[in-house]
Structure 1
Amino acid sequence: MGSNGYYEPLLVGQGRPELANLSSEEVEEILTTHEPLPYRWWPRLVAWESRLLWVLSWASIVVSIFNFMLSLITQMSAGHLGALELAGASVTNVGIQGLAYGIMLGMASAVQTVCGQAYGAKKYSSLGIICQKAIILHLGAAFLLSFIYWYSGAILRGIGQSASIAEQGQIFARGLLPQLYAFALNCPMQRFLQAQNIVNPLAYIAVGVFLFHILLTWVVVYVLNYGLLGAALSLSFSWWLLVIMTGLFILLSPSCKETWTGFSTQAFKGIWSYLKLTLSSAVMLCLEIWYNQGIVLISGLLPNPTISLDSISICMNYLNWDMQFMLGLSAAASIRVGNELGAGNPKVTRFSVIVVNATSILISIVFSAFVLICRTTLSKAFTSDDTVIAAVSDLTPLLAISVFLNGIQPILSGVAIGSGWQALVAYVNLSTYYIIGLPIGCVLGFKTSLGVAGIWWGMIFGVFLQTVTLIILTARTNWDKEVDKAAERLKMSADEEKLELVDNIA
C-alpha cells in the first residue's frame, strides 16, 4: 500500500482504525514503502513500538527490582547497626553471595532457553521435567556452595579482608545459608513461568514479599535487637516465602496444568547433557555479574578498608538498582528483536532497536540526574556515619556516569541476545572487563592517590569499551541477513531431528 493508500490517513490520524491494531507485517510494509519515513509519522510508530515494549517489560522490571530490594533493605538495616557491620554485610554480599548469585542465575538462563524451545514446540509436559532437572542441579550447586558460606570468614581473610570485617562477614553469610537453598529453588521456577509468558503473578508475589520483608526486618533488627545475624535470617525467611508462593502458584494454577504434571523420575534421565548446557549458558552472565562484584572486593584491599568498602558498596547498591530496572527492559528488547527477526521483519527489527535504545538513554539521563541531585540523601539511607556519607558524596559523579552507561549497555546486550550473538558478547565482556577495565582500575586504585575512585574509573572504562563495541556491532548489523539467519534457525528447529536436545532433556 503506497503513500496514498490505507496507512497514511491512519498515521496522520484521520479516523482510521487504531494504530495499536496494526500488525508487525503492516508496520514492516510501511517502513519498506516509505523510506525515509516522513517525520510526522514517527510519533505514531514510536507509540506503537513503545506499547509493545512496555507490555513485555513492566512485570519483568517489577520482579527484578523488588527481588533485588530484599537484599537492599537488609543491607540498609546492617548499615544502621554500624560501619563495621555494613562492611561485613557488603563484602559478604559481593564476595560470597555474589559468587552464588552469578552461578545460580547463569545456570537458570538455560531453563528459560530450553523451556522456551519446548514450549514453542508444544511439548508442554517437558517444561515441568526440565524445571525439575534444573532444581536438582541448582540444589547440588547450593550444597557445594554451602561450604563457602560456612567457612566464609577464613575465605575473606584469605583474600585480604581485615579480621574484624571477615568476622562480621561470616556471621552474615551463615545467616544466609537458608536463602541459598531458596534461591536454588526460585531461579528455575521463575524461568519456568517466564518461558510461558506468565509474568504478572511473579510481579504481584515480588511486591507482596517485599512489603512483608520491610516489616519483618524492622521487627527482628530494631525491636528484637537480633543484630546482623537477625538481618540475614530475615532475608532468608523472605526468600523462602517467595519460593512457597511461587511453588503454590505452579501447583494450583490452571495456567500450569499442561506444563506441570507432577514430579517424575524422568528428571534424572539425561541430566549430564543438561548440565553441559547449563554450564555453557552461565559463562556470559557470570562474567557480567562478577565484574562489578570484583571491583567491590578489590576496594576492601585499600587503606582504611571499612570506609572504602562502605562507600563503594552503597554506590554499587544504587547502581545495581538501576541495573535491575534496565535488565527488565533488556529482556523485553531481546524478545522484540527475536520475535521480529523470526517473523521476517528486518525494518521493524531495526526500528525496535532504535526505539528501545532511545528509551533507555532518556531513562538513564533521568536516573543520572536523580543521583547527582540526591547525592547526600542516598548515603543517609544506608548509614549515619559522617565519614562514609562524605566518601559516598565524592563518588557520586562517578556513580552518575556509571548509571548512564549501565542504562545503555544492558539494552545492547538484550539486542545481541535476541539476535543470537551470545558467544560474541561473552568474548567482548572478557576482553573489555577483565583484560582492560579491571587492570586499569587496580593501577589507578593502588598506584595513584585516587584510591577507591581510581578503581571505579577502571570499571567505567571497561563498561564504556563494552558499550562502544556493542554500539558498533549493532550499527553495522545487516538486519536482512539476520532475518535469513533466524529463518535458518527456525527451519532447523522445525526439523524433528534437530529437536533432539529438548527430547533428550525431557
Structure 2
Amino acid sequence: MDNSMQEKLITSETEQNDDHLKARVFQESKKIWRVALPSVVSRVSSFGTIVVTQSFIGHISSVELAGYALVQTLGIRFINGILIGMSSATETLCGQAFGAKQNHMMGIFLQRSWLVDLVTLTILLPLFFLATPIFKLLGEDEAIAISAGNIAIWFIPFSYSLIFSLTIQMYLQAQQKNVVIAWLSLIQFAVHVLLSWLFVSVLGFGVSGAMSALSTSSWFLVIGEFVYVLGGWCPDSWKGFTWAALKDIIPVVKLSVSSGVMICLELWYNAILVLLAGHLKNAEIAISAFSICLNISGWQFMICLGILGAACVRVSNELGRGDAKAVRFSIKVLISTSVVIGLIFWTLCLVFGSKIGYLFSNEDEVALAVSDLSILLSFTILLNSVYPIFSGAAVGAGLQTTVAIVIIVCFYLIGLPVGIVLGYVFHLQVKGLWIGMICGVITETIALSYMMHRTNWDEEVIKASARLKRWNLETPNEKPSNHA
C-alpha cells in the first residue's frame, strides 16, 4: 500500500513537472514568436524583392542574369554585409536598454547607428562606380563585368535605404513593436512585384526598370518606418533628434565594427564562392546556377534570421533584466523551434529541387545546373536552421568578436580550402565549392554550440549591467533605472 501511494505521488509530481515545463515552453514560444513572426515576415518580404528582381532580370538574358548575380552576391553582399553587421549593434544595445527599462536610451542608440552607418556607406561609395574594372581585375568575363557595373549603380539608392530600414527594424524589434514592419514589408513586396511587372513586362524598360522597381519599393518601406517612429507611436523610446547621439559614439563604433566583422565574414564567404565559380568552365552558367541556389538558401535563411532576431531580443532583454536562467531556457526553445522549421524546408527542397531553376531562367542549362545542386541545397537549408540561433544569442550578449573568430576558422580556414580542392583539384566544379561551404557550416555549428554551452550567463548579466550604466544618460522625462 505504501509503495502504491509512493508511486502515485511520484507519478503526480512528474505530471505536474511536465505540465509546468509545457507551460514554460508555451510562454517562451509566445514571447519568441511575438518578436520572430513579424521579423520573419519582414525579412522574407524584403529579401523577396531581391529574388523577384533576379527572376525578372533572368528572363531578359543570361548575361544580365550573371551580371546581376555577380554584383548582388559579391558587391552588394560585401557592402550590405558591413551595414547589416554594424546595424546589429543597435540590436544589442536597444535590447539590453529595453530589458533594463532605460527606454529613453533606445532612440539615442538608433541615431548613433544612423550616423555610423551613413558615414560607412559613403566611404564605400566608390566601389559601386568602379564595379566593372574591379570585376575585370578579378578575372571575370568582360561582358558579365560590364553588365554588373551598370547594375551596381542602380543598387546605390537601395543600399542607402537599408541603413534606415535595418536599424529601425532592430529598434522596434527590441521593444516588441515590429508588427508594423511586417505589414509595411508585405505591402512593399506587393508594390515591388507590381512595379517590376509594369516596368519590365509592360513598358519594356529592361534591367533599368527592374532596378528602379527595387529602389522605389525599398524607400517605400523606409518612409513608412519614419512615419511610425516620428509620428508618436514610440513615445517612451523616441524623444526626438538630439545632440546626445554624438556622445560616447566611439564605443558604439567599436561594437558596430565587431558586429560588422561577424556578419560580413559569413556573407563574404558566399561572395568568394561566387567569385570562384566565375573561374570554372562555362562561367555564365556556373555563376547563374550558384547564385540562384544561394538566393534560395538566403530566402529561407531570412526565416532563420527572423528567429535569430528573436534570439537576440530575448537574450538581450533577459540580460538587461538580470535573469541568466531565462537566457538559457530561451536558447533551448529557440533551437528546437528553428530545427523544426529547417526540417520542413529541407523536405520541400528535396521534393521540388528539380523544378526550381525554371523560376529564374528559361535556359535549360541553368535549370539543370540548379537541379544538380538541389540535394546539397536542401542540406544547407537544414544546417542553416541551427547556427543562426547561436549567433543571435551572441549578438544579444555582445559576443560578436568571439563569433567572428569562430567564423574565420570554420569558413576561411576549413570550408574555403576544402571547396577549392574539391572544385578545382578533384574537378567537382560548383558541387565541390558547395560541399566546402557545407563543411564550414557544420564546423561553425559545432563550435558555436560548444561556445554557448561554455558561456557563463551570470557573468554576461554583470557585463550587460555595467555597459548600460556606463552609457546611460538622464533625460528630463525619465531618470535612468538602476535595475539590470
Normalising by structure 2, we get a TM-score of 0.89
Q: Which residue of 1 aligns with 2:264?
A: 286
Q: 1:58 aligns with which of 23, 31, 37?
A: 37
Paired position in structure 2 for 1:392 = 370
Q: What's the C-alpha RMSD, in Å, of the aligned pairs?
A: 2.8
Q: 1:342 touches 1:486 (CA, 8 Å); kept in 2?
A: no
Q: Measure, in 1, the Cα distance between the counterparts of 2:398 and 2:89.
A: 14
Quickly say closer, same or farther: Cα 1:412–1:263, change in 2 above 3 A.
closer
Match of 1:381 in 2: 359
Cα contact 1:171–1:228 (8 A) shared by 2: no
Deviation, structure 1 residue 8: 5.8
Q: Could you tell me which amino acid in structure 2 is paired with residue 282 of structure 1?
A: G
Identify the range of structure 1 (57-66 vs 181-190) with the bigger mean alpha-carbon deviation: 181-190
Q: Which residue of the partner structure matches residue 462 of structure 1? A: 440
| Segment drifting more, 361-370 vs 394-403 | 361-370
Which residue of the other structure, out of 67, 70, 74, is the alignment partner of 1:95? 74
Q: CA deviation at 1:477?
A: 3.8
Superposed, 1:95-244 pairs within 5 Å as 95-120=74-99, 122-244=101-223
CA pair 245-222 structure 1, distance change in 2 beyond 3 A: same
Any conservation in 2 of the 1:114–1:502 contact (CA below 8 Å)? no
| Separation in 1, partners of 2:192, 2:461 | 46
The aligned residue for residue 17 of structure 1 is none
* Structure 2 runs not aligned, ≥5 long: 1-6, 475-479
- Distance in 1 of aligned mates of 2:356 and 2:58: 13
Deviations 1:84-134 (A, max 9, x none): 111000001011111111011111112222333444555544433332232
Q: Which amino acid aligns with 2:68?
A: A
Asked whether the 8 Å contact 1:60–1:199 carries over to 2, the reply is: yes
Residue 416 (structure 1) shift: 3.9
- Partners of 1:79 and 1:236 in 2: how far apart? 18
What is the aligned counterpart of 1:263 among 216, 232, 241? 241
Equivalent residue number for residue 21 of structure 1: none
What do residues 208-236 of structure 1 show as CA deviations (whole Å, max 9, x unaligned)? 11101000011111111111122112111
Query: Per-residue deviation at 1:139?
Result: 2.0
Q: Which runs of 5+ in 1 are unaligned?
A: 13-29
CA deviations over 1:212-265 (Å, ceiling 9, x no partner): 10000111111111111221121111111111111111111x332343333334
| Amino acid corresponding to residue 248 of structure 1 in structure 2 | V
For the Cα contact (< 8 Å) 2:108–2:245, is it kept in 1?
yes
In structure 1, distance between residues paired with 2:316 and 2:110: 23
- Whether contact under 8 Å (1:153, 1:167) holds in the other structure is yes
Shift of 1:390: 0.7
Partner Cα distance (2:197, 2:33) in 1: 34
Matched with 2:255 is 277
In the TM superposition, what is the alpha-carbon distance from 1:287 to its structure 2 partner?
1.3
Counterpart for residue 499 of structure 1: 469
The answer to whether the Cα contact below 8 Å between 2:324 and 2:458 also exists between their aligned partners in 1 is no
Q: Match of 1:441?
A: 419
- Letter aligned with residue 436 of structure 2: G
Q: Is contact 1:157–1:166 with CA below 8 Å preserved after alignment? A: yes
2:463 matches 1:489: yes
What do the CA deviations read for 1:397-440 (whole angstroms, capped 9, x no partner)?
Answer: 11011011111121232344445543332211110001111111
In 1, are the aligned partners of 2:95 and 2:396 still within 8 Å (CA)? no
Aligned-partner Cα distance in 1 for 2:119–2:352 = 43
Q: Per-residue deviation at 1:268? A: 3.9
Q: Per the alignment, in what secondary structure is the counterpart of residue 176 of structure 1? A: helix
- Partner of 2:384, secondary structure, is helix
Identity, % of aligned pairs? 34
Report if the CA contact (8 A) 2:407-2:444 is conserved.
yes
2:4 aligns with: none
Q: Does 1:312 align with 2:282?
A: no
What do residues 150-172 of structure 1 show as CA deviations (whole Å, max 9, x unaligned)? 12111111112110101111111
Flag the structure with more relative contact order, 1 or 2, with Cα contacts below 8 A and sequence separation at least 6: 2
**Number of aligned pairs?**
469
Deviation at 1:340, TM superposition (A): 5.2
Q: What are the residue-to-residue correspondences of 1:31-46 with 2, within 5 Å?
A: 45-46=24-25
Q: Is the 8 A contact 2:85 2:260 kept in 1?
A: yes
Match of 1:263, SS state, is coil
Letter of the 2:94 counterpart: C
Question: Taking structure 1 as reference, are residues 204 and 304 closer, same or farther at Cα in structure 2, changes over 3 Å only?
Answer: same
- State the shift of 1:41 in Å: 6.8
Q: Displacement of 1:337 after TM fit? A: 4.3
User: Whole-Å Cα distance in 1 between the matches of residues 428 and 415 of structure 2?
Assistant: 16
SS in 1 for 2:125: helix
